[in-house]
Chains A and B, each alone.
Chain A
């Protein structure tokens, strides 16, 4: 099955959206396109599993390789392994939910849906590309729609936050580009598979690794560069903030993972900085969330804290922690998308996101409140939901590292589960429980599209929560391949 179909389908949907008119037509086409994409992704999963079942142990499957710009050895080389397939499934789920949640978007709806599909196309391309340049190309494709989505359809000082987001992401991609150039000039190829064979000398790695890692780190809300996250998410419309938190931060995480696997010695060398920043991000993000009064800011800051786990997992550089990082990426994607969807539903009804003004919504909208509670419980790591599985795997992985300081870092990030509990319960307690104000009392509950979107995401969360061995089996070979490059696979004795 040719992987380019994954990119072709969004393009076709985008074109179809452009040529349709009227909100009804646009949203139906958008929905059909995204459901088709979800079907395609699950079909790909089935094929992938069959392939693995019949014992095909190639690291990357369904590869296709066309020279794109032979002079600079850039070729359109695409292929997937367990990790990228998990990411594709996550993206397709969030895209369907995102389109369903923005069912009543009547302001410039054609452009809105077009940009959403374009952004998802960027993400799909990013996850399947095995050539660093194609990877970078799709990373760029995904940045522009974000800026427009927040700038035009956003709320609050949307221009300012859109500008900040776009500039910081551009800075990130600039740094990534420097990193890629460094790799290119030392291996004369952009192809990931060849780079791992040729290998980059340690000196070069140590010089270019920070560029690429910090570049992708900016996408994944690495500590000092996370300031675009709160403003960007808070002023983005619901679907855009779902995509932003659910997909674009995963681009960063996935990118960091690829860079760490391409330059393992440097990753080891800088591991202590990565872990330090990740721990700060986790604890700092959690405490900062405690102080927020706006629901979207709460979720934005909590995404910083959760993405800190991803970076922590990558920084620890052993099989379990990288497994944990990937599961955390998937689980956090679903969880934040669900949380933003719930906040969007509440906002569309009560027109306020301030906790102080909300209260006792359980009486007025039981379904949305249960969705809110589920998202909250998942993010504080209740077993039965994916948050728990991800965090525990990262903890187990990072605990195996015998270095005392890293163990302290794990304990500190462990303490974040308490702070997360505090701010989640504070938010849920205030908005869902407590006495309801009279004008909120007569608000309607979720419409069919919101129900379906929430149900979709919740099934994702619960499946990973109840049966993590499925996801573990899927991404297992992927992490083994990464650990192969990392050399010493620090597994538990």
Chain B
């Protein structure tokens, strides 16, 4: 095993840039910040490619399985002899794959932002936050201890808060940032309690040890974890489902998805990086990392499956009705992540049933590329048109040829048209779904059709429909914006051909997968039909879409209004938490608890006023008290204390 300690450099480089740009950025590097950020990220990308080559090809497999290497481990905070948070780096197929995905997409975004964010007043802080995000994402991927995952999980949340709230003078951006952080924080609470449960029953916080202890059915930890139950579900289910809730929050699964569409307030490259490729897949990565434990507990896996499938379908329906292009892409991300989740949910460990696990990660791999390409394309378009709404766009294919081609490739990829990457990963998911759960397969198929419909609705309304009314327009942006688009487009095409199955599988052993054409006729056929419907409706500007929408009536309205989930959350916070919990407590503190103390003060004042009355200045009263005293004392002395 060759020495992998240089991998420690990959997360540290972005951290270094963050510190440099964060502290000195404003004064010295305001213009050159972009280059510093991109250069350091280029270095870590190259390093991660080297590491991948060395791990997959040079060291290769040992009796058919890639070895898990702990490159570096240091006890960070020890709670007790065998339970401690220790920082470390783990190298195994998933983490190396994620390394490549995160660093390359982040590099593309860095390069793209050189052009996109030029002239911004807080240019250096933008790059500082971007590198902070990349550092925490890389840290999350390489962590060896669940608490270390939690630490970087929070840092990812915080940096996404800072990036969404980048245009801080816009109140909507601030509100969106706050919402994102609070919702993810709520999910992190579940994650924390899940960690506490696993940590306590598993006896350790180290992921490797936990997997080893909780997968061996006759191990002491596993037994007492499954026997101890709370409200009917065993502690293992509680722990795992709570951890999944943490993941669901970050990956914007159904109940906790409300922050993703609002997160589009941030600059588009940020959305491309965070809300397309990296942060949102953290939940999938977490479930994949703890997959052996999840597989021991069917009930939590079914939770994962059904939430994933429902989110996919739910998001696809909403995406078809949205008019803001970034919202459409946000919902499409949510839908694709739903795909990955339920692919994991239906998978088992080992052999043929492990296909779901491999398919999900393969989809994650391909999705990262074409989704970030879509976002960057959308960014270029917005940069040109200075508005997010579809109706202000149209006929841009002549003005922006490169973006047009790249956008088209990405749409074909995400729709799952054969030669492109999306087809291969989605096929794997569909085959896995077909073998294990017919209902999920049906939902997946329908959602695939919906996906291609809304993607091409988006494509036609941006690049075709009416002629563009733009008078003054500066060209398609500098090369720094075009180059990433092309590179990502290339990846979107080639990613499909990567022999993913012999790198990453649920049990490590290579899994030979074949694309049987008969099976893939159904999905591809449906996709082509959906594309033609989209073309028919949106190729030329006409009123057919509005007529169709009218027919759907309230269903369309509901979908457009995102099924009122936002309003529900607002209702809960504004109408229930604030007035019925917040105000009473604040009022109680001011009046009851504080009031009690003031009451004490007032009663003492009253009593002292009464006692004061005894000093009435009346001599005769004094003689009376005097005589009373003598009498009492005499009685006491004579009768009681003989």
B178 touches A429 (CB 8 A): yes
From residue A110, how far is it (CB to closest CB) to chain B in Å? Answer: 33
How many angstroms between the C-alpha atoms of A392 and B151 in the bound complex? 10
A417 touches B189 (CB 8 A): yes
A469 touches B81 (CB 8 A): no
A468 touches B589 (CB 8 A): no
The one of B151, B181, B593, B601 in contact with A224, judged by C-beta atoms closer than 8 angstroms, is: B593
Which A residues from 309 to 353 make CB contacts under 8 A with B? 319-320, 323
A468 touches B76 (CB 8 A): yes
Q: Is B177 an interface residue (CB 8 A)?
A: yes
A384 touches B155 (CB 8 A): yes
From residue A322, how far is it (CB to closest CB) to chain B in Å? Answer: 12
B 192-220 binary contact with A (CB < 8 Å = 1; else 0): 11001001100100000000000000000
List the 9 closest A-B pairs by CB distance, nearest first: A291-B586, A433-B168, A383-B151, A227-B594, A492-B80, A433-B174, A421-B185, A287-B585, A468-B77
Output the residue of B178, B188, B581 with the most chain A CB within 10 A.
B178
A 279-321 binary contact with B (CB < 8 Å = 1; else 0): 0000010011011100000000100000000000000000110
A residues within 8 A CB of B182?
418, 421-422, 425
From residue A98, how far is it (CB to closest CB) to chain B in Å? Answer: 25
For the complex with contacts A320-B79, A435-B171, A436-B169, 9 further pairs of A-B residues with Cβ separation under 8 Å are A288-B585, A291-B586, A395-B192, A411-B193, A417-B185, A422-B182, A429-B174, A429-B178, A433-B173
A residues within 8 A CB of B169?
360, 363, 433-436
How many angstroms between the C-alpha atoms of A492 and B83 in the bound complex? 7
A491 touches B77 (CB 8 A): no
From residue B39, how far is it (CB to closest CB) to chain A in Å? Answer: 24
Range of interface residues on chain A? 35 or more
A418 touches B186 (CB 8 A): yes
The one of B80, B158, B186 in contact with A382, judged by C-beta atoms closer than 8 angstroms, is: B158
A290 touches B582 (CB 8 A): yes
B196 touches A395 (CB 8 A): yes
Residue of A nearest to B75 (CB): A469
A residues within 8 A CB of B541?
none
A287 touches B582 (CB 8 A): yes
B155 touches A434 (CB 8 A): no
A binding-site residues for B, Cβ under 8 Å = 164, 167-168, 224, 226-228, 230-231, 284, 287-288, 290-292, 301, 319-320, 323, 360, 362-363, 366, 377, 380-384, 388-389, 392-393, 395-397, 399-400, 410-411, 414-415, 417-418, 421-422, 425-426, 429, 432-436, 468-469, 472, 491-493
Q: Is B147 an interface residue (CB 8 A)?
A: yes
The one of B78, B155, B192, B582 in contact with A469, judged by C-beta atoms closer than 8 angstroms, is: B78
B binding-site residues for A, Cβ under 8 Å = 26, 75-83, 85, 147, 150-152, 154-155, 158, 161, 165, 168-169, 171, 173-175, 177-178, 181-182, 185-186, 188-189, 192-193, 196, 199-200, 203, 578, 581-583, 585-586, 589, 593-594, 596-597, 601
B80 touches A362 (CB 8 A): no
From residue A283, how far is it (CB to closest CB) to chain B in Å? Answer: 9
How many angstroms between the C-alpha atoms of A432 and B174 in the bound complex? 10
Can you list 18 A-B pairs with a CB-CB distance of less than 8 A? A230-B589, A231-B594, A290-B586, A323-B79, A380-B185, A392-B147, A396-B79, A400-B200, A414-B196, A417-B185, A417-B188, A417-B192, A421-B181, A433-B174, A434-B168, A434-B169, A472-B77, A492-B80
How many angstroms between the C-alpha atoms of A393 and B189 in the bound complex? 15
How many angstroms between the C-alpha atoms of A397 and B84 in the bound complex? 12
How many angstroms between the C-alpha atoms of A323 and B79 in the bound complex? 8
State the majority secondary structure of interface residues on B: helix
How many angstroms between the C-alpha atoms of A417 and B583 in the bound complex? 19
The one of A227, A421, A425 in contact with B589, judged by C-beta atoms closer than 8 angstroms, is: A227
A residues within 8 A CB of B75?
469
From residue B458, how far is it (CB to closest CB) to chain A in Å? Answer: 31
B residues within 8 A CB of A231?
594
B80 touches A320 (CB 8 A): yes
Given contacts A362-B168, A426-B178, contact A393 B79 (CB under 8 A): yes
B593 touches A389 (CB 8 A): no
State the majority secondary structure of interface residues on A: helix
Residue of A nearest to B22 (CB): A370
B residues within 8 A CB of A290?
578, 582, 586
B residues within 8 A CB of A392?
77, 85, 147
The one of A167, A226, A230, A429 in contact with B175, judged by C-beta atoms closer than 8 angstroms, is: A429
B residues within 8 A CB of A323?
79
B residues within 8 A CB of A492?
79-83, 200, 203
A366 touches B178 (CB 8 A): no
The one of B77, B173, B181, B192 in contact with A425, judged by C-beta atoms closer than 8 angstroms, is: B181
How many angstroms between the C-alpha atoms of A320 and B80 in the bound complex? 7
Given contacts A360-B169, A366-B26, A468-B76, contact A288 B589 (CB under 8 A): yes
How many angstroms between the C-alpha atoms of A399 and B150 in the bound complex? 17
B589 touches A284 (CB 8 A): yes
A415 touches B189 (CB 8 A): yes
Given contacts A421-B181, A469-B78, contact A287 B581 (CB under 8 A): yes
Residue of A nearest to B155 (CB): A383
A389 touches B77 (CB 8 A): yes
Residue of A nearest to B192 (CB): A414
From residue B512, how far is it (CB to closest CB) to chain A in Å? Answer: 42
How many angstroms between the C-alpha atoms of A489 and B48 in the bound complex? 46
A residues within 8 A CB of B161?
425
From residue B124, how far is it (CB to closest CB) to chain A in Å? Answer: 12
A residues within 8 A CB of B76?
468-469
B residues within 8 A CB of A395?
192, 196
A residues within 8 A CB of B583?
291
How many angstroms between the C-alpha atoms of A414 and B154 in the bound complex? 15
How many angstroms between the C-alpha atoms of A284 and B578 in the bound complex? 13
The one of B80, B147, B594, B601 in contact with A319, judged by C-beta atoms closer than 8 angstroms, is: B80
B residues within 8 A CB of A393?
77, 79
How many angstroms between the C-alpha atoms of A223 and B174 in the bound complex? 34
Residue of B nearest to A490 (CB): B80
B residues within 8 A CB of A363?
169
B residues within 8 A CB of A389?
77
The one of A168, A230, A399, A414 in contact with B189, judged by C-beta atoms closer than 8 angstroms, is: A414
Residue of B nearest to A224 (CB): B593
A residues within 8 A CB of B585?
284, 287-288, 291
A414 touches B193 (CB 8 A): yes
B196 touches A418 (CB 8 A): no
How many angstroms between the C-alpha atoms of A292 and B303 in the bound complex? 39
A residues within 8 A CB of B178?
425-426, 429
B residues within 8 A CB of A377?
158
How many angstroms between the C-alpha atoms of A468 and B185 in the bound complex? 23
How many angstroms between the C-alpha atoms of A469 and B87 in the bound complex? 12
B residues within 8 A CB of A422?
182
From residue A279, how far is it (CB to closest CB) to chain B in Å? Answer: 14
How many angstroms between the C-alpha atoms of A288 and B591 in the bound complex? 12
